[in-house]
Amino acid sequence: MAQELKPAIGAGLSIRTRISPVGVWSTVGGAALALQVWVLGRYLTMSDLRSAPPSGYQISGGRMVAAWTMQAVVAAAVLGMGVVLLRRCLRERTVTFDAALYTGLLLSMWQDPIMYWNKLYVVYNQNLPNVETWGPYIPGWHGPDTGGEPLYESVAGGSGLAYPIVMVWFWLQYKLYRQIALRRPHWSNWRLFLTAGGIGALIDLPLEPLFLFSGVFAYPVGYPPLTLFAGHWYQLPLLEVLSASLVLVTPILVLRRIDEARPVPWLFTTSPRAHTPARPLVRLLAGVGLANVVILAYLLANVAIAELGGPFPSDMPSWLW
């Protein structure tokens, strides 16, 4: 009987070994990367890469300086984070969790048009570098009714290559969350999740206006009862703040905290039998998979928020529309 059980037990262990978190996330990451190459490849070869016309709108010199300064700060922060994370990987001789997540966020920007799948949810400053959206090349995408006017994507402002700026939210929220988790070890994961979500919302609340008032982008729709400065071009939907925290940042934070609490981390851990040169690639793909999943969830949450509607601000500047 013992001899009969050994193969079954060995087979079960083998299945559990093969179906590992890093294997699942890296598979998702590979699929997301392949779809991204297909979408952007068709876009680059079949579109004219047009940007918004440099005329037809008026923007003050002060607003222009503020928007370009904010974009420069974001670009410098993203580049600086990349350098720091690369040096950390070289020092630790492995792809760190943060480096994998950073790479994943950078390779998630292709999903941005999903945010306005059905309704116009965000508009960008036409004075900043932009290109006509690649939304039509995403399967099933139809976009909002803009009366024939094209939609444009920000290259490095509040979207595009700026996606890794989410790491700032993540690091700030994680530092506070970790202290609470250490001081409240008896709290359930759900209680910690909701606490982390509240912390994230409090962090996001003062950061979002930096982009809004500098004129980088604006939210043209917002459910009035839950919107600050409702009816104005600089309005801030509070549901957007909640979705950024609860859907985008907090799930990653909780996954990492649970991973750290285990005797042996498992989230991005590759098998010791895996070929050494393949491990960094597998971990990077896992980061791409995780980031693409949370970005997709966040964008779909915004699609749902946009359905709540709200009047289009009558004072929306021409350089944002």
Token output for 60 = 């003050």
In this structure, what DSSP letter does residue 267 have? T
Summary mean pLDDT of the chain: 86
pLDDT of residue 4 exceeding 80, the answer is no
Q: How confident is the model over 102-124, as a mean pLDDT?
A: 94
pLDDT of residue 262 exceeding 90, the answer is no
What gap in Å lies between CA 145 and CA 68, rounded to an integer? 29
- Compute CA 106 distance to the chain's CA centroid, rounded to the nearest angstrom: 8
Token output for 274 = 């895996």
pLDDT of residue 275 exceeding 80, the answer is no
Q: What is the pLDDT of residue 280?
A: 85
End-to-end CA distance of the chain: 75
pLDDT of residue 277 exceeding 80, the answer is no
pTM (2 d.p.): 0.89
Residue 112: closest CA among 171, 161, 49: 161
pLDDT of residue 204 exceeding 70, the answer is yes
Q: What is the pLDDT of residue 16?
A: 46
Instruction: Render pLDDT for 33-44 as a digit per residue (tens, 0 to 9).
Output: 999 999 999 999
pLDDT of residue 263 exceeding 50, the answer is yes
Q: What is the pLDDT of residue 5?
A: 42
